[in-house]
Structure 1
C-alpha cells in the first residue's frame, strides 16, 4: 500500500475523499474553504463509523466495541493508533480498498479533527457518538424480513443521516452569523433533509443490502399492500411490492421537499453552501425518478444516474442557486412523476 507519510494530513484528507465518495468529492469543494475542511473531515469520520458497521466479518460484539473505541478516539480519549491496530487486521474483502486505506490512516484524519475549534469538535463528537451507538444497535437486528415499521425506519435514518443533518447545520451556523439567524428553523428541517438522502440510498441499494443479509424496508408499509418482505426476490414483478415501493418513493420525495425548504433558508450570498445542498438534492431526485421508472430493478447499477445527468444537475442548480422561486419550480418539474405521499401521517410517527 502506498505510503503517504510525506503528505500533510489535510492533503491526505483531500486525497482519500476522492477514493471513498465520488459524490462528496464533488460537493464538498463547493463549500467555502473554512467549511470544506471541517465537513470533509466530518464525512470521513462518518465513513469510518460506517465501515465498522458494514463489514460482515465483524461480529456484533466486535462492531459495538470498535464503535465505542472510535467514539473515544474522536473525543481524544484513546489514541487513533490503538483503534487501527485492533480494527485493520479484522477487515474483510467486503470493505473496499479505499476504505482499508482510510482505516489504516485514521490517525491523520483524527489529527485534523483535533485541530478544529471547540464548537466544531462538539458537533463532530455528538454526531459520531449517536451514529456509532445507533448503528451498532441496528446491526444486532439485521434481517431479510425488514424493519418492523416506518417508525423504525425513521429511527434508523436518524442514526445514519438525520444526525448528520444536525451536525452540518451546527457547522454552517458556526461558520456564518447570517445562517445562524435561521438556526431554529434549519434545525427543524435538518433531520428530514438527511432522511430524504438516506431513504434514496436505501431504495437504490435494496438488492445490495439483501445480498449481505440486511433489509431496511419497513414491514408495515408492504404488509398493507399484502406483501411479506421475507418473500422478496430480485427483480420482483409483484405489484404489491412495487406499490409499497411507491409509498416509500413518495415519503422520500416529501423529505426532499423539506430539503429544498432548508436550502432556500440559506442566505443567497452563501452560494457555496447552497450548491453543496442543491447538488445532493438534485442527484437524489434523479435517482428516485429512475427507481420509480424501473421498480422491477434488481441491481443498483440499473438505477444509477448517468454522468450527463449529474453534469446537467450541477449546471442547472448552480445557475439558479440564488433564486428560490426558480428552484421550487425546478423541483416540481423534476419530481412531477413521483408519488406524492403526504407527510401528515409520517409526522405522527416521528
Structure 2
C-alpha cells in the first residue's frame, strides 16, 4: 500500500533536521522552486544516508544504491520497487543512522509520493539528477583512488556537479527566458567549487579517517598541492559568480540563493588560504559572519554590478586558477547519457 505523500510543512521539517545550511538558503527561492529543490535535496539525502551508514555492508549499500538509481531513472514509477527499496533502506540504516536521518528514511515513500505530484518535466529533471548521483555514490563505495585533478573532477561531479546541473535545469524550467545552454555549461564548475571548498575544509578530519579526496603526496609537496587546489577552487567559484550573472535580475530569489551559498564558500576558502595549511584546526566561519554575508547578499543580489563587487571583495587576496567550464563539463558530465549506459566498475 502506497504511503500518502508528505505535506509541504513536513518536507521542510525534514530539510531543517538534516541540513541547517540548505534550510537557511532554500526558502529564499520562488515558492514552487522551494518545494522542488527541498524535495530533490531530501532524495539525495536518502541516498547519502544509505551510502554513509557505518554498520551496513558495502555490498548491500552498493546494491541498494544501484537499485535506487534505476528506480529514479524510471521517473519514480515502480510501486513494487519503491516498497522493496523502502523496506531495505529501513533495515540497512536503522542501527547506524542518526535519528533525524532515520526519520527521513522512514518517510521515504511519502517524499517520493510528493515527487510524483510535480509536473512531468520537473520529475524528469529530479529523476536524472538523483539517479546519476546515486550511481556515483555506488561507484565511490568500491573505493576511491584519487591520483590527479581528473580524479578529483570526476568525484566532485558525482556528488556536486550533477547537483549544479539539476539546479540549472530547474531554474531554466521555472523561467524559460534564462539562457539554458550558458547556465548548464557553468553548472558543473559551480558545483565543484562548493564541493572543493568542503574537501579543503575537511581534509584533516578526512585524513584521520584514512580517506582523501585530494591526491596523496609526500609531506614536502603537501603545502604546494593544497595551495594549487585552493586556486582551482577559487576559479570554480568565479564560474559560480558568472552563473549568477546569467540569471535575470528579476529572479531575485534564485540569485540570492546562489549568491549566499558561494559567499559562504568564498569566505571559508579565504580562511583556509590564510591559515597554516598543516594546522589540524578546522577553518569555519562564525555565525555572525554568516549573518553579515546574508545581509550583504540581500543587498547585492539585486544587480550584477553589486554582485560582482561583493564577490571580488570577499575573494580578494585568494589566488585563482580558472579553467574552461565547458571543457570540464564535457569531460565529466553524464547529464546527456542514458542511465542504462551506466556500469559500476569494480577496481579490484
> Which TM-score band (shorter chain)?
0.7 to 0.9
Task: Please point out which of 262, 274, 278 is paired with 1:293.
Answer: 274
1:105 counterpart (104, 107, 110): 107
Deviations 1:108-127, CA, capped at 9 Å, x for gaps: 11111111111111111111
Aligned pair 1:275/2:236, yes or no? no
Match of 1:313 among 276, 280, 293: 293
TM-score for both structures, normalised by structure 1: 0.86
**Structure 2 unaligned runs (5+)?**
332-348
Report the CA distance between 1:46 and its aligned residue.
Answer: 0.9
Please say if 1:160 is aligned against 2:149.
no
Tell me how many residue pairs correspond in the alignment. 323
Task: Give the equivalent residue in structure 2 for 1:83.
Answer: 85
Distance 2:274 2:138 in 1: 34
Deviations 1:249-269 (A, max 9, x none): 110100000000000111101
Q: Deviations over 1:185-239 (max 9, x none)?
A: 11110110011011111111223333444211124xxxxxxx33xxxxxxxxx56
The 1-side partners of 2:297 and 2:120 are apart by 33
Q: CA RMSD in A?
A: 2.3
Aligned to 2:215: 218
| Contact 1:57–1:92 (8 Å) recurs in 2 | no
Cα pair distance change 1:58/1:192, threshold 3 Å: same
**Matched residues in 2 for 1:331 and 1:83: separation?**
43
Check the 8 A contact 2:66/2:138 in 1, yes or no: no
Q: For residues 238 and 267 of structure 2, what CA distance do their matches in structure 1 show?
A: 14
Secondary structure of 1:108 counterpart: helix
Unaligned 5+ runs, structure 1 = 220-226, 229-237
Deviations 1:104-147 (A, max 9, x none): 111111111111111111111111111111121122123xxx50
- What does residue 183 of structure 2 align with? 186
What is the alpha-carbon distance in structure 2 between the residues aligned to residue 308 and residue 36 of structure 1?
A: 25
State the distance in 1 between where 2:108 and 2:153 align.
Answer: 30
CA shift in 2, pair 1:344/1:218, >3 Å: farther
Partner of 2:260, secondary structure, is helix
Paired residues of 2:4 and 2:113 also in contact (CA < 8 A) = no
* Paired residues for 1:1-350 under 5 Å: 8-74=6-72, 75-77=76-78, 78-91=80-93, 95-142=97-144, 147-179=146-178, 182-219=179-216, 227-228=217-218, 240-294=221-275, 295-299=277-281, 302-343=282-323, 347=327, 350=331
- 1:163 CA displacement: 0.8
Q: Which stretch shows the higher mean deviation, 42-51 or 267-276?
A: 42-51
8 Å contact from structure 2 (residues 233, 320) kept in 1:
no
The CA deviation string for residues 143-167 of structure 1, in whole angstroms up to 9 with x for no partner, is: xxx5011101101111111111111
The 8 Å contact of residues 18 and 101 in structure 2, kept in 1 or not, is answered as: yes
Tell me, yes or no, if the aligned pair for 1:46 and 1:128 is still in contact at 8 Å.
Answer: yes
2: distance between equivalents of 1:79 and 1:240?
A: 49
In 1: Cα distance, 2:326 partner to 2:245 partner: 23
